[in-house]
Amino acid sequence: MKFRIPALLLALLMAGSCFACGSADQPEDTTASDTQTTAEPVSEGLKSGVPDDVKFEGETIRILNACYHDDWFTLLNVPEATGDTVDDAVYNRNLAVMDKLGITIEFTDMSDTHNTYTASKTFRQTVLAGDCEWDIMIGPQFRAVQLAVEDLFYNMIDAPYIDTEQPWWYADYMKSVNINDNLRYMLDGDLSLNFLFQTSAIYFNKDLMEVYHGDPDFLYDEVLAGKWTFDRFRTLVTDVYDDVNGNQKVDYEDLHGWVSRPNSYTMYTLMMGGGSKVVEETDNGWAITTDLERNIDLCEIMYQLVYETTGSYPDTEASRLDPFNDEFPRKFSEGTMLFHVGLIDTADRLREMEDSFGIIPFPKFDEAQESYKSPVQDQADTASVPSTIKNIDLTAAVLEEMAYQGYMTMIPEFYNIALKVKYMRDTDDAAMQIIDIIHDTAFTEIGFVHNYNMNNLATIPRFMLADKQNNYASRWDKALSAAQEKFANLMAFYNK
């Protein structure tokens, strides 16, 4: 299931070309130079759902910026212009919203990590006290879906100004997150750059690819031909190894085809890319899947790829505390990893990389799989309104205008200038088409989004592989009874 963002993701790397995500009236790309200029929005008749004459006479809107990582705060809130392209795009978007509506936006930056849940706990306490400190909470979706079933959010389905069929809202994505088409507890759109940062992708070192496999552009051709599969991934990883530190031991410091973290989200998001499912739609609505064949096959593939492939190194070193935001991108930048499984966000961490690199989607299960799938990690931002909200008109207007202005200016700035000019190395037409594929196949799955309300069925592969086992079916069977009970409660809430 894909979400829609402006026809600008292809312009990550490509000037003067655009693609459509199901809407013929989306704006064209803007073209970026090598300088940090401002991307000019092209509306082509698209207008915010908030009429120009709507003003709120100096009202203040309070937003809880509940990021999973502290360094993501500025993807939504930049207090002043800094001269950085991305920072200034966010700052100018927020300023435009305030000017248009005649309001002040007050952000509260508060962490919401797995260790503390500080923002979520504080939000819950204030809502239950009957007078929430904030009008909007924008934070990780894995926390939002847990708060939703506590009746802490306002249903925005009939809120004024917001038309979720407009391209600045991710309509299809929201249907998975909210389960019921008549509910909008979580809103997903061009509100924060963090959502886009959380789309899955694989990076490959083109210089190393040439050393081990010849002209690296062959990989683009295979992706476009639909031949990029798990088998092909394993083949390219195999035997890519060099004892860099010369200690005659296979260790982290050596050069590897792929360095994985078995106890990480990439274990199950890679499987999602191959078509794994926890929940499926039946004639009677949503249900936990009963057909585990694809899931079991993918677990077998992942086990072989992680533990039985020369060139694949499973890193379990506890002292590497933040491998996907720090250590792994750094190692990839140093030229000692052929592949890195990451997110669009990873590009921001490769600014100093000297080697050339390319981006491709997650592999398919096999060539028969209809299309590539690019999971959105559950740390992606989603917006919710407390059930105690007093001024729904103001709140809805701010959300609509933030998403609209994000679509028109902030997102183009990020894609056309920051990602295209500052981060990316490859402007080949095939590379551009592949970036388009990653965008156009971004999706989530109900069982993944609501994993914590389903006895963690979606994350079984992570813990199975962390234990160096290949026993998916037995783990599923053990967790199923409790999962079914929790899922029944979940569906009862969303169908009430």
Block mean pLDDT (10 aa), the chain, length 496: 40 32 34 35 78 96 94 94 92 98 98 86 96 96 96 98 95 92 95 91 97 96 98 98 97 98 97 97 93 98 98 96 92 98 90 91 98 96 97 98 96 70 63 82 94 96 98 98 97 93
CA distance linking residue 99 with residue 97, whole number of Å: 5
How many CB atoms lie under 10 A from the CB of residue 7? 23
Q: Please return the burial class of 334, using the count of CB atoms within 10 Å of its CB with bins 0-12, 13-18 and 19+.
A: middle
Alpha-carbon distance 26 to 65, whole Å?
Answer: 29
Q: Which of 171, 378, 127, 164 is nearest to 137 (CA)?
A: 127
For residue 3, being part of any structural domain is answered with: no
- Flag whether 449 is in a domain: no
Q: What is the DSSP string of 219-260?
A: HHHHHHTT--BHHHHHHHHTT-EE-TT-SSS--TTSEEEEEE
With vertex at residue 281, the alpha carbon angle to CA 277 and CA 285, rounded to the nearest 5 degrees, is 140
Task: Identify whether 482 is part of a domain.
Answer: yes
User: Are residues 188 and 204 both part of a single domain?
Assistant: no
Give the per-residue pLDDT at 31. Answer: 30
> Distance between the two ends of the chain, CA-based, in angstroms?
25
Q: Is 242 among the domain residues?
A: yes
Are both 93 and 167 inside the same structural domain?
yes
Same domain? For 369 and 464 the reply is: yes
Q: In this structure, are residues 138 and 112 in contact, taking their beta carbons and an 8 Å threshold? A: no
Identify whether residues 74 and 169 lie together within a single domain: yes
Are 182 and 313 within one domain? no
What does each C-alpha distance from 478 to 63, 230, 482 come to in angstroms?
41, 28, 9
- Considering the domain architecture, whether residues 227 and 319 belong to the same structural domain is answered as yes
Residues paired with 378 in a beta bridge: none
Is 1 domain-assigned? Answer: no
Other CB atoms within 10 Å distance of the CB of residue 171: 18
Paired strand residues for 186: none
**pLDDT for 70:** 87
Residue with tokens 């569906």: 491
- Coil, strand, or helix at residue 86? helix
User: What CA–CA distance (Å, rounded) separates 480 from 482?
Assistant: 6
* DSSP assignment letter at 169: B
Q: Are 244 and 350 in contact (CB under 8 A)?
A: no
Q: List the 104-109 sheet strands across, edge first.
A: 104-109, 60-65, 136-140, 381-384
Helix 472-494, helix 293-307: angle, nearest 10: 130
Same domain, 188 and 108: yes
Pinpoint the alpha helices (H) of 13-84. Answer: none
Q: Which helix (H) or strand (E) holds 201?
A: strand 200-205
- Relative to beta strand 337-343, strand 255-260 is parallel
Structural domain total, the chain: 2
Q: Which residues contact 169 (CB under 8 A, 6 or more apart)?
A: 4, 162, 163, 187, 188, 189, 190, 403
342 and 412 in a single domain? The answer is no
340 located within any domain: yes
Least Cα distance to 441 among 367, 378, 364 occurs for 364
> Measured in whole angstroms, how far is the alpha carbon of residue 437 from the centre of its chain?
15
Tens digits of residue pLDDT in 427-452:
577 887 888 788 889 999 999 999 99
Same domain, 89 and 111: yes
pTM for the model stands at: 0.87
Assess if residue 385 is contained within a domain: yes
Query: Do 175 and 103 share a structural domain?
Result: yes
pLDDT at 420: 54
Q: Are 405 and 96 in contact (CB under 8 A)?
A: yes
Instruction: Please identify which residue in the block is written with the tokens 């509306």.
Output: 43
DSSP 418: I
Residue with structure tokens 């190692």? 331
In this structure, the answer to whether residues 339 and 484 fall within a common structural domain is yes
Q: How far apart are CA 7 and CA 338, in angstroms?
A: 31
d(CA 380, CA 6): 18
- Which domain does 183 fall in, by range? 10-197+378-442
- Spatial contact of 105 and 98, defined as CB atoms under 8 Å apart: yes
The CATH number of the domain holding residue 482 is 3.40.190.10
Q: What residue has token string 């590897």?
A: 256
- Structural domain includes residue 2: no
Co-location of 128 and 222 in the same domain: no
Pull the structure tokens for residue 440. 């156009």
CB 404, CB 168: distance < 8 Å: yes
